[in-house]
């Protein structure tokens, strides 16, 4: 239900009936919870039509229902639909900590939802002592403290990101500013309060900040150093991250510390770099001094790392001027520079600025496992970035190898980045680095984890290996929804058996296996059929990979060849679940016909059914 596969969700809800609709995962969330959280209106409509009021009223962990999830994430149409179907009484349902949908919408500043719910909801928000809303849990069970507030006004000191579904984790520095990148910057809270043509005094600035709840007015001290959230951010850090330059100005005049650090070592300048607010960044640098721009977080990231990763070219330009060569060549704890991250993400504007300032020396810089920027760009399929790095760094860069002997072309072939392969192949001599039995040798991602590539020969590539591009050192894919990152990030891979299936003739098992081996759909060098060969972190079979990537013809050939449609990956996911993730309705129907309708009710090790995956992905059909 997460990606919005409404067609797939519709079929599964018909096959599974009420038991599948009401099935919850280990954190107590149904498929409807995930569809509502993501605002997949098509999926929500299908699930509520099938499950009715009973499903809408279902409360998961911490007693969150679908309406709580939709309201907290700002999905107005979904909120209205749930009320229309489930009844207006739903607006009064409280979570374990006494939060109604309106209270959550206010906490997360979802103004459109607040406007829709306020006329339907009686009484005031749940407010504790000292003007703070009480603690409330996210669906994951972690308690989250809201921002200091009163029923009349909300302060920006609290939680900024919407509640995450149970297993979504935000542990990396780049996720620190999820909301800053997901939404437009919040409007300044002091707009209209700063007198024109007059310099504010410290006392006046503090008065304005407290008046608009930019800082907590109930504290005995100034409130400037009040810390909130997982990373213990100050009001100045929040304002900088959200691009509220006027608020930054008032807080600095009021005496806020521009060099203070959050619990992970991030400074206000780093937060401004994450959010991409150039005026706020300039103001902070003027106040704290240019040397403050060279500070390093506990993970080894500088402000330039954050700006490069987020793609803020103007911010990266200013920081590279301020920091000079030392900042350009600075690497994090995994040995990656800002250029590595910009190349990995394909931020061509940032790459151009950094390479102009750092030149060949920066392009040649090899981080952990000896990956340079060209390796990162090639593995992620960024053709323009690859060409620019070669133009500036020289054609010799195409021959540079990683610790495991991989050139940029080898990585592009591994990850099936055809456009990059076409660009690099004429520039690269010799064949790809191939080990025994037709397998490319193991190679590390930048994180240092060894990743086994798919069985292959220099002439043909098999789909049995790694599908997702290499992650930067601290990006983690631990949740079931991340299991199919590439299936959602790119269009489904074209069928590998296209043109090989004779028309008007039913394939025999022997013919199907012969075709599968001919096109390297399965490994031709194995002594057995190769149908049960397992690869990747989750130990997927060729059938699982084909189902996830939406290659229906390949699914057909593998099933005729004898592939097990009920087999499970290491996390309990079946081929039907992978088809639901990828949103391929023909492949899903084919697998259900082969395995039986009961196979659609299987549950993964995390408690997810195929309907959970379809609802999370938004596959309504």
- Domain with residue 540: its CATH number is 1.25.40.20
> Which among 454, 475, 496 is the end of a domain?
475
| Contact yes or no for 340/367 (Cβ under 8 A) | yes
* 594 part of a folded domain: yes
Q: Are 263 and 404 part of one and the same domain?
A: no
pLDDT of residue 177: 37
> Which two three-digit tokens encode residue 330?
């600075």
pLDDT of residue 575: 93
In 3D, which of 430, 329, 439, 348 has the Cα closest to residue 389? Answer: 348
Half-sphere exposure of 618 (CA within 13 A, CB side): 10
* 596 part of a folded domain: yes
> Which two three-digit tokens encode residue 602?
């299987």
Q: Are 23 and 134 part of one and the same domain?
A: yes
Q: Are 154 and 185 part of one and the same domain?
A: no
Residue 115 CB partners (closer than 8 Å, separation 6+):
none
Q: Are 14 and 163 part of one and the same domain?
A: yes
The CA-based diameter of the chain, rounded to the nearest angstrom, is 86
| Contact yes or no for 161/170 (Cβ under 8 A) | yes
DSSP H stretches of helix in 394-541: 408-414, 418-424, 485-489, 509-518
Q: Are 545 and 445 part of one and the same domain?
A: no
| Contact yes or no for 562/531 (Cβ under 8 A) | yes
Collapse the DSSP code of 127 into the 3-class scheme (helix H, G, I; strand E, B; otherwise coil) and give the result: strand
In 3D, which of 401, 297, 387, 300 has the Cα closest to residue 351? Answer: 387
pLDDT of residue 355: 94
> Which among 475, 492, 517 is the end of a domain?
475
Give pLDDT < 50 ranges for the chain. 1-5, 123-185, 430-492
d(CA 251, CA 258): 9
pLDDT of residue 448: 37
> Which two three-digit tokens encode residue 311?
């793609």
| Contact yes or no for 44/619 (Cβ under 8 A) | no
In 3D, which of 550, 600, 605 has the Cα closest to residue 579? Answer: 550
Q: Are 177 and 318 part of one and the same domain?
A: yes
Q: Are 28 and 135 part of one and the same domain?
A: yes
Compute and round to an integer the Cα radius of gyration of the chain: 27
d(CA 3, CA 222): 45
Q: Are 409 and 470 part of one and the same domain?
A: yes
Convert 156-198 into a string of H (helix), E (strand) and C (coil).
Answer: CCCCCCCCCCCCCCCCCHHHHHHHHHHCCCCCCCCCCCCCCCC
Q: Is the dihedral of CA 550, 552, 554, 557 positive or negative?
A: positive
pLDDT of residue 13: 64
Q: Are 111 and 10 part of one and the same domain?
A: yes
Q: Are 162 and 177 part of one and the same domain?
A: no
Q: Tell the burial category of 131 from Cβ atoms under 10 Å away from its Cβ (0-12, 13-18, 19+).
A: middle
pLDDT of residue 415: 83
* 492 part of a folded domain: no
Collapse the DSSP code of 494 into the 3-class scheme (helix H, G, I; strand E, B; otherwise coil) and give the result: coil
pLDDT of residue 316: 93
In 3D, which of 460, 406, 463 has the Cα closest to residue 433? Answer: 406
Q: Are 464 and 367 part of one and the same domain?
A: yes
d(CA 308, CA 70): 32
What are residue 136's DSSP bridge partners?
144
* 382 part of a folded domain: yes
- Please work out, in degrees rounded to the nearest 5, the angle formed at the alpha carbon of residue 533 by the alpha carbons of 530 and 535: 145
* 177 part of a folded domain: yes
* 502 part of a folded domain: no
Residue 97 CB partners (closer than 8 Å, separation 6+):
62, 134, 135, 136, 137
Distances (CA, A) of 414 to 88, 440, 468: 53, 9, 10
In 3D, which of 18, 91, 64, 75 has the Cα closest to residue 41? Answer: 75
> Which among 475, 496, 524 is the end of a domain?
475
Q: Is the dihedral of CA 55, 59, 61, 66 positive or negative?
A: positive
* 335 part of a folded domain: no
* 455 part of a folded domain: yes
Domain ranges, residue 33: 4-167
Specify the number of domains making up the chain. 4
pLDDT of residue 440: 36
Q: Are 140 and 187 part of one and the same domain?
A: no
pLDDT of residue 464: 29
């Amino acid at each position: 239900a997460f990606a919005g596969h409404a067609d797939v969700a519709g079929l599964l809800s018909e096959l599974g009936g009420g038991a599948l609709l009401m099935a919850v995962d280990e954190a107590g969330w149904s498929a409807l919870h995930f569809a509502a959280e993501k605002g997949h209106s098509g999926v929500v409509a299908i699930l509520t039509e099938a499950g009715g009021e009973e499903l809408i009223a279902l409360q998961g962990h911490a007693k969150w229902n679908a309406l709580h999830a939709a309201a907290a994430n700002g999905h107005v149409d979904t909120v209205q639909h749930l009320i229309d179907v489930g009844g207006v009484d739903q607006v009064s349902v409280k979570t374990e900590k006494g939060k109604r949908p309106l209270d959550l919408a206010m906490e997360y500043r979802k103004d459109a939802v607040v406007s829709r719910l306020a006329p339907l909801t009686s009484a005031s928000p749940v407010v504790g002592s000292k003007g703070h809303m009480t603690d409330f849990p996210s669906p994951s069970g972690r308690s989250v403290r809201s921002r200091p507030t009163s029923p009349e006004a909300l302060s920006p000191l609290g939680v900024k990101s919407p509640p995450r579904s149970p297993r979504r984790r935000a542990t990396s520095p780049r996720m620190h500013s999820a909301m800053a990148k997901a939404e437009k910057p919040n409007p300044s809270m002091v707009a209209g309060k700063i007198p024109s043509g007059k310099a504010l005094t410290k006392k006046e600035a503090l008065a304005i900040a407290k008046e608009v709840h930019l800082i907590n007015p109930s504290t005995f001290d100034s409130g400037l150093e009040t810390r909130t959230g997982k990373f213990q951010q100050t009001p100045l850090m929040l304002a900088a991250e959200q691009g509220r330059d006027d608020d930054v100005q008032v807080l600095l005049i009021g005496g806020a510390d521009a060099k203070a650090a959050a619990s992970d070592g991030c400074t206000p300048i780093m937060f401004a770099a994450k959010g991409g607010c150039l005026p706020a960044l300039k103001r902070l640098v003027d106040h704290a001094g240019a040397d403050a721009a060279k500070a390093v977080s506990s993970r080894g990231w500088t402000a330039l790392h954050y700006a490069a990763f987020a793609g803020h070219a103007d911010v990266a330009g200013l920081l590279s001027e301020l920091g000079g060569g030392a900042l350009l060549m600075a690497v994090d704890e995994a040995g990656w520079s800002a250029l590595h991250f910009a190349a990995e993400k394909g931020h061509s504007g940032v790459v151009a600025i950094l390479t102009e300032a750092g030149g060949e020396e920066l392009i040649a810089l090899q981080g952990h496992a000896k990956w340079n920027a060209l390796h990162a760009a090639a593995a992620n399929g960024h053709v323009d970035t690859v060409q620019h790095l070669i133009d500036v760094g020289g054609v010799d860069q195409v021959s540079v190898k990683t610790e495991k002997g991989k050139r940029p072309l080898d990585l592009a072939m591994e990850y099936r980045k055809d456009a990059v392969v076409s660009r690099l192949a004429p520039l690269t001599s010799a064949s790809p680095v191939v080990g025994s039995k037709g397998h490319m040798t193991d190679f590390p991602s930048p994180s240092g984890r060894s990743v086994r590539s798919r069985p292959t020969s220099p002439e043909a590539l098999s789909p049995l290996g790694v599908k997702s591009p290499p992650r930067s050192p601290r990006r983690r894919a631990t949740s079931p929804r991340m299991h199919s990152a590439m299936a959602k990030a790119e269009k489904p891979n074209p069928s590998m058996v296209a043109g090989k299936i004779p028309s008007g003739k039913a394939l025999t098992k022997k013919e199907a296996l012969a075709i599968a081996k001919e096109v390297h759909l399965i490994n031709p060098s194995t002594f057995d059929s190769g149908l049960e060969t397992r690869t990747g972190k989750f130990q997927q079979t060729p059938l699982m990979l084909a189902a996830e990537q939406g290659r229906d013809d390949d699914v057909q050939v593998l099933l005729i060849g004898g592939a097990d449609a009920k087999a499970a990956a290491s996390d309990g996911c079946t081929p039907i679940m992978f088809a639901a993730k990828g949103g391929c309705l023909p492949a899903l129907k084919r697998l259900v016909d082969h395995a039986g309708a009961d196979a659609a009710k299987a549950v993964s090790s995390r408690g997810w059914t195929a309907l959970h995956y379809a609802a999370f992905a938004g596959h309504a059909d």
